Each structure stands twice: as structure tokens, then as C-alpha cells.
Amino acid sequence: MKALQISPHVYWVGAIDWNLRDFHGYATTRGTTYNAYLVLGKKPTLIDTVKKAFYPEMLSRIKSVIDPKQIEIIVSNHAEMDHSGALEQAVADFEPSAVYASAMGVKNLIAQLHPSFEIKAVKTGDKIDLGDDTLSFVEARMLHWPDSMLAYLEKENVLFTNDVFGMHLATSKLFDDENDENIWMQEARKYYANIILPYSDIVMRFLAQVQQMGLSPKIIAPDHGFVWRKDPSSIVKLYGEFAAQKPTNKAVIVYDTMWGSTEKMAQAIADGLRQNGTTVQLMSMHACHRSDVITELLDAGAILVGTPVLNSNIYPAMADVLCYLKGLKKKNLIGAAFGSYGWNGAPIDGVTKMLEEMGVEIVSQALKCCFVPDENMLTQCEELGKLVSQKLAEKLN
């Protein structure tokens, strides 16, 4: 397998994981890449490694341009196993003179690898002389782990951003301008919603910091997806928009159903929302994945959550998606709960409480239906949809 050149002295030596379909709970329907980069200068330097199982692919690509023993420096920008999984093997085989990570990276790599080799800590502003270029570091704490860091190759103007500005997209096309924008835009949104969203305030501060530092990279090289060469500023701009979490006139109805009653309620609520001009995305957890729900919520202004009651509890699939959404901390949502029950409607009120705990502004108490909705109940559902639409319009104006 061959290394691919991305700039005069930088080669992509990563791996493509065409078959990955689950990244800790996130449905990676288009697979992913684990990008590693080799800077070929006076001091050959490897930026990140790959997931452990993909080490042979990375090694083969490195060998296509250099004897791996010539690698003097390895930088580990992030201690998550999709990037650091092959680090131990790489150090054993290449015997570099130094391995660098952020201070938190050193701590986390020690806890993961229990290494016999030394890892040196670097911080924002630190520089390493590579002989014919300089590598400097920018810590990116909580984007998305405490150890996350970026590395910047100064003369060549390449910013290695690890998880930041990436996407889970397996592609043989290495650059932004070679990939279909309709596809990458979907995957960029999905990646932000599922990985970066809880840290949106930090993203805002980070983007301001990068601007203050005057960084204007010619190439942005993330560790997932492709390399941004035509217009690196496009993904930076998108991050600013995603992080703002500006609501639109769109509602997402997330529900599951046992015998069809909660589904009938969901459809009547959707009808009420549409009548008042709100765009609706109806998402049955029979048909949709939790990671697609949060992606749809990225630009939404309202969430309605419907659940049947099973064994005095909410439906298992609803517990799953609510737990997932809670962790991702989407802001700027209004909402309400609804659902069908047989003899104990209290768990549906519990969903209202869960939404409150997620920071959702509740616009109505839970709408509960005993068994099967009649015309009167369906009218109440429609009215709930209209109410949410009205409250959303007030918020947007």
C-alpha cells in the first residue's frame, strides 16, 4: 500500500476502515478512516497512528516512502484508541528518539499503554525543530477529550487537527474537492452532532483563539475523513455555525410504539405542527438510529418525545435514545412528552422530567392517552403540535 502526498513534505499514511458501522454507539454507515501523517524532512516525524488492527496498513504505506527506522519523532495528538492503538507497536518497531503528547495525553497514554518508553509533554506554544521546518502545538482540551491537541507545521502551513474538523467517511478520495459535497455535508453534520456537540462552547472559544493566533492553514489534515486543501476555511466556518446551535422552525418527534397508539399520537402532533408551518421530522425508534436523531436535532428548535408504558417504565428504545441525547447536551430546544399507557401513565410524566434535565424548555405537561386514542385525543395531539409550533415561532421572532 502506498503513502499519498498531501503537500511537499507531508504524506498521508493512514488506513481506511470501510466496514466500521458502530463507533461507540454512533452508526458510522459510511465507515471511516484513521488518518496518520508522515512529515518527511531532516527529522522524519509521524503525526498520530491508527487503530491497532490497521497497523500493518499504516506500516506498509510508511515503507513505501521511507525506512520506518528513520522516523525520529512520533506525535500523539489524542489518546483515543482509534489514533493511539498502534502507538506502542510503532514505537517498538521504529525506535524514535522522542514521543510527544499533551500533558493530559501523557497521563492518558500511560494509563492505557503502561508503556516502557518515555512520552514527553508539550503545551500550547511549544515548538519542535524538525531541521527544515517547525512543528508547534495547540492544546484543544475537551475537543473532544482532555488530552486533545493539534499540531501545526509552520513553513508548510499544514494544521493536523486530529478529531476536530473530521468526519466518519471511508473514501479513497483524499481531498475535499474530490468528494461529493452532498455526502460530506451530511457526514460533517453527523460527526459534529455525535462527537463535538457537548463541547460547543469550547469550540467557540477555540475558534476565536485560532483566529487570535493568526493561524490560516493552507491545508487542514484531520484524522477522520479527507484532507481539506481547496477550502479549509469551509469546515472552520461550519463549526462556527454548528456550535451556535441556532434553532430553526423545525421539530423532531422521537417515539416508539407498542400497538400503534403512540404512533397515532405522533402523527397527529406532526399534523398540528405542519398546519402552523413548522417542518417536522418524525423518527420512530423502530426505524431510526439514535445518532441520526441527534443529527436531525442539530438545527431543530423543538423536540417531542413519545413513549408507550411497559412494565411501569418507558419503552427500552426510548430510554436508550434519551440517555444518548442527554449526554450530547443539545441547547435551544423547546418540547413536550406524550404517549399511550394502560393503567399507569406516570412514566410518561417521567419523560417530561428527563427533558427538563436535558435543558429542554417544556411548553406543555405530558399528553397521556389511556390505551387507544379516540378522535378527541387526536385533536388534543394536533393542538399540542400547534402549540409547540406557536411557541417556537415566538422564540424565533
163 touching ligand FEO, by CB under 6 A: yes
Three cell numbers, residue 269: 402532533
Residue from 88, 223, 292, 296 touching ligand FEO (CB under 6 A): that is 223
The CA dihedral of 139, 141, 147, 148, to the nearest 10 degrees, is: -70
Burial 297-324 (b: 16+ CB within 10 A, else e): bbbbbbbbbbbbbeeeebbebbbebbeb
CB of 82 vs ligand FEO, minimal distance in Å: 4
Q: Which is nearer to ligand FEO, 53 or 370 (CB)?
A: 53
Q: Is 289 a catalytic residue?
A: no
For the bound state, the minimum distance from the C-beta of residue 17 to ligand FEO, rounded and expressed in Å, comes to 11
**Which of the following is catalytic: 57, 163, 187, 292?**
163
* Contacts (Cβ under 8 Å, ≥6 apart) of 270: 253, 280, 282, 385
As a whole number of angstroms, the distance between CA 337 and CA 24 comes to 27
Q: Are 19 and 47 in contact (CB under 8 A)?
A: no
**Is 168 among the catalytic positions?**
no
Residue among 17, 57, 80, 147 flagged as catalytic: 80
- 4, β-bridge pairs: 12
Q: Respond yes or no on whether the N-terminal peptide bond of residue 114 is cis (omega within 30° of 0).
A: no
Q: Is 144 a catalytic residue?
A: yes
- Does 114 qualify as catalytic in the annotation? no
> Is the Cβ of residue 45 or residue 77 nearer to ligand FEO in the bound state?
77
Under the binding rule (CB under 6 A), the answer on residue 82 touching ligand FEO is: yes
- Cβ nearer to ligand FEO, comparing 40 with 87: 87
DSSP-assigned letter for residue 388: H
Note the Cα 207 to chain centre separation in Å.
Answer: 17
Scanning 74-82, 249-257, 284-292, 355-363 for contacts with ligand FEO by CB under 6 A, the matching segment is 74-82
- Would residue 311 be called left, alpha or beta, if left means φ above 0 and alpha means ψ between -120 and 50 degrees? left
| 163 given a catalytic annotation | yes
Nearest to 112, CA basis, from 87, 93, 137: 87
Closest approach of Cβ 12 to ligand FEO, in Å?
16
88 near ligand FEO (CB under 6 A):
no
143 vs 322 by CB, closer to ligand FEO: 143
To the query of whether residue 181 is one of the catalytic residues in this protein, the response is: no
User: Looking at beta carbons only, is 112 or 284 nearer to ligand FEO?
Assistant: 112
Q: Using DSSP bridges, classify how beta strands 45-47 and 37-39 pair: parallel, antiparallel or unpaired.
A: antiparallel
Q: What single-letter DSSP state applies at residue 145?
A: S
Closest CA to 337 of 255, 278, 247, 281: 255
Q: Report the distance separating Cα 321 and Cα 304, nearest Å.
A: 13
72 versus 223: smaller Cβ distance to ligand FEO: 223
C-alpha cell at 60: 506498509
> Which residue of 83, 250, 264, 330 would you call a contact of ligand FEO, by CB under 6 A?
83
Choose, by CB under 6 A, the member of 17, 48, 72, 80 that binds ligand FEO: 80
**Nearest distance from C-beta of residue 13 to ligand FEO, angstroms:** 16
CB of 224 to ligand FEO, least distance (A): 6
Q: Which listed residue (34, 48, 72, 144) is catalytic?
A: 144
Nearest residue to the partner ligand FEO, using Cβ:
80
Q: What string marks each residue from 180 to 219 as x (binds ligand FEO by CB under 6 A) or -? A: ----------------------------------------
Residue 78 binds to ligand FEO (criterion: CB under 6 A): yes
Name the minimum Å distance from CB 162 to ligand FEO. Answer: 7
Q: Which of 48, 55, 72, 78 is catalytic?
A: 78
Q: Which residues are CB-neighbours of 347 under 8 A, at least 6 positions away?
A: 307, 309, 312, 313, 314, 341
Q: Which residues are catalytic?
A: 24, 78, 80, 82, 144, 163, 191, 224
Residues near ligand FEO, by CB under 6 A = 78, 80, 82-83, 144-145, 163, 223-224
